[in-house]
Chains A and B, each alone.
Chain A
Amino acid sequence: MKRLSYVLLAAWQGFWRNPVMSLASTLTVSLMLLLFAFFFATDRGLQAAVGILESKVELGLFLEDDAKVSDILALKARIEADPAVARVDYVTKDQALARLVAIAERRPDLAIEDVGPNPLPASLEIKLARAQEAARVGALLREELGKGVVYDVVDNPSVVDKLLTITRVLSIGGVAVLGIMLFVALFVIVNTIRIAVHARRDEIEIMKLVGASDWFVRWPFILEGMLVGALGAAASLTVLFLASGAVTSSLLAFLDILPVSFGPTFLAELAATVVGIALVVGGGGATWAVRSHLAK
């Protein structure tokens, strides 16, 4: 107990012995953590958006009016056999017209006049289980063109493609930026602790002389590093929680059409990850800084 209080006190004193340096490294750590939180949240949001959009990816086949029903059903069965396909619905000409009429009734700006013979084609509506394969399935379907059953293929997976591209770019860019920030934060912490070690080199010499264990010498500095990390985490989380209202509403405005939800545990997860990274970076940097000194 006494040992612990000694070590904690030494860490606390170490932090305030050189406040400018300590606060500078705290600031660096909190900036890194803020960036991390930003990428973490954005990535989560985009992934949720991709998930929702993927479930909505649909391909359509417009069918020739004179195609035989047996041919249509055979084609439907073949498409359903594809593992990327979740479901295929056969929409007849009459159903298509009924749908259009139903839509028109809800929309005052549309009116269906008597259209004479039904101009709408029958169609097959294909729901995909794996949106990433939309392009491949689309290409397969295109091969059916001109064989007397299919006269047009409608595929529109470009939104998902774009979102997937954005997600990819953001994760690669995010990892790169975070990597650089991590390096900077580690560098600053290592130097802060080095200075702290240097300031107490006489004390360390005597501690080793009278037989203090290496851990007794090390722990105050490692705790000081973790203190820098923890204060950085506290600062960045404070900023995050203060800004979260504004950020959430602007994110929701950006992803307006999508019912994106981060899930109930998101904030707890984010906070835990931020604190975890902070402690690992602080403690790890300090361990690194002290290691070289104690080897002597």
Chain B
Amino acid sequence: MRHSHVPRLRRKVGVVFQDFKLLPTRTVAENVAFALLVTGHSGDEVREETDRVLSLVGLAQRRDHFPDQLSGGEQQRTAMARALVNRPRILIADEPTGNLDPVTSWEIIKLLVRVNELGTTLVMATHNAEIVNALRRRVVHLDHGAVVRDEREGLYAA
């Protein structure tokens, strides 16, 4: 794979992290629009797409707030909006609930499930047994970098 192809591929893959990685000097809407602007989109398209994902994650009312004015769950939803705004085929969530309390975690999981139902493949890495057991989705168990288990409707521990 050529190095110059990497950016285009990255646009097809959205990523959400445990620590959100939002830009503190930009508002919610600006954080989301940033992903469009730096991939060469402009004008009306940016505003429309930003509005679309912000209502999808339920943050339309919070669009002009800065990240440190938001709760942890709202910050993670902003990060999700940013990951989704380029309409990726896959969304990778790396411990998306790692920094959140159980109630907020469930909000995020419900949102991820909804995104999945809307047609985006979701890959989530997590240590949260409760979530894995409740979802009963495909579970790939990694141990020291090797796949040790892959079940269609798996549980956290075998």
Contact = CB atoms under 8 A, between A and B. Distances in A.
B23 A206 contact: yes
Given A206-B82, A209-B10, 5 more contacts: A2-B42, A2-B43, A210-B35, A213-B4, A217-B38
Interface in A193-226: 202-203, 205-214, 216-217
A246 interface: no
Contacts of A211: 7-12, 39, 86
Chain A interface secondary structure, helix, strand, loop or mixed?
A: helix
Nearest to B3: A214
Contact of B15 (A202, A209, A214): A209
A212 to B, nearest CB: 4
Contacts, number: 53
A1 interface: yes
A10 to B, nearest CB: 10
Interface string A243-267: 0000000000000000000000000
Q: Report, as a range, how many residues of chain B touch the other chain.
A: 20 to 34
Interface of B: 4, 7-12, 15, 21, 23, 34-35, 37-40, 42-43, 82-83, 86
B140 to A, nearest CB: 23
Return the 6 tightest CB-CB contacts between A and B, nearest first. Answer: A2-B42, A211-B10, A211-B11, A212-B38, A210-B35, A211-B7
A206 B8 CA distance: 14
Interface residues of A, number: 18
A3 interface: yes
Interface string A1-28: 1110010000000000000000000000
Contact of B4 (A3, A208, A214): A214
Q: Which of B7, B21, B40, B86 has the most CB of A within 10 A?
A: B7
